Amino acid sequence: MPGQVDRSDDALQRLTAWAAHLRVAEKDLHREIYYAAHDIGVSQRLISEIVGSMSQATVQRIIRRITEDPSRLEETPAEVIDRRAAGLINDETMMDRLLDRKYSFGHVPSIDGIATDAYIPGDWDQIEMAYYRDLLSEHEFDRLMERQRDQIEQAAHAEQAVQVEQAVQSD
């Protein structure tokens, strides 16, 4: 039936928007929990009571994670994209924030010159994943790629250099 495709697309768009909104809200809530405990000195028990759906142990874990890694307070590329998907920011604001970043790139770590089977993601991976999930248009992705082209090429050359070094050492 002709109308079912439209309703299906609309339902998927709403679901995508609500899921993005939930992820953004959770990240914002974690920031506010940290700020309340760290900056103002609100007790974990009181934070738990205010939030209502979170145990004191969960509040403690959130505060500990952010204390151990303060970069968790920073807005990630995925979060910026989620804010747009949730309707909290417009396309232009999203692109301004994404174009204004310096990205890190994922890599395969090596130990004593030998590549591991691990992969350490960079925040550029979030851009690629958003593109593959149709959360960024081809035009938006191309603009981001163009801005980051030099960094991407440097990361690729660094990865190739590691591979050459590993090949030389294994001979």
- The 8 Å CB, 24+ separation contacts for 73-79 are 73/31, 73/34, 76/123, 76/126, 77/101, 77/103, 77/123, 77/124, 77/126, 77/127, 77/130, 78/23, 78/126, 78/129, 78/130, 79/23, 79/24, 79/27
Q: What is the pLDDT of residue 5?
A: 53
Average model confidence (pLDDT) across the chain:
89
Q: Give the tens place of pLDDT for each residue, 110-126.
A: 888 788 889 989 999 99
H helices present in the chain, as ranges = 2-35, 44-51, 56-68, 77-85, 91-99, 124-132, 138-170
Q: What is the pLDDT of residue 168?
A: 66
Cα dist from 165 to 111, 135, 159, whole Å: 12, 37, 10
Domain boundaries, the chain: 1-74, 76-171
pLDDT above 70 for 2:
no
Q: Are 60 and 108 in contact (CB under 8 A)?
A: no
pLDDT above 70 for 12:
yes
H helices present in 100-137, as ranges = 124-132
Task: Answer whether 0.85 is exceeded by the pTM.
Answer: no
pLDDT above 50 for 72:
yes
pLDDT above 80 for 157:
no
| Rounded CA separation 99/118 (Å) | 29
Q: Give the tens place of pLDDT for each residue, 75-132.
A: 999 999 999 999 999 999 999 999 999 898 888 888 887 888 899 899 999 999 999 9
Query: Comparing 102 with 29, which gets the higher pLDDT?
Result: 29
Q: What is the pLDDT of residue 1?
A: 46
Q: What is the pLDDT of residue 108?
A: 86
3-class SS at 17? helix
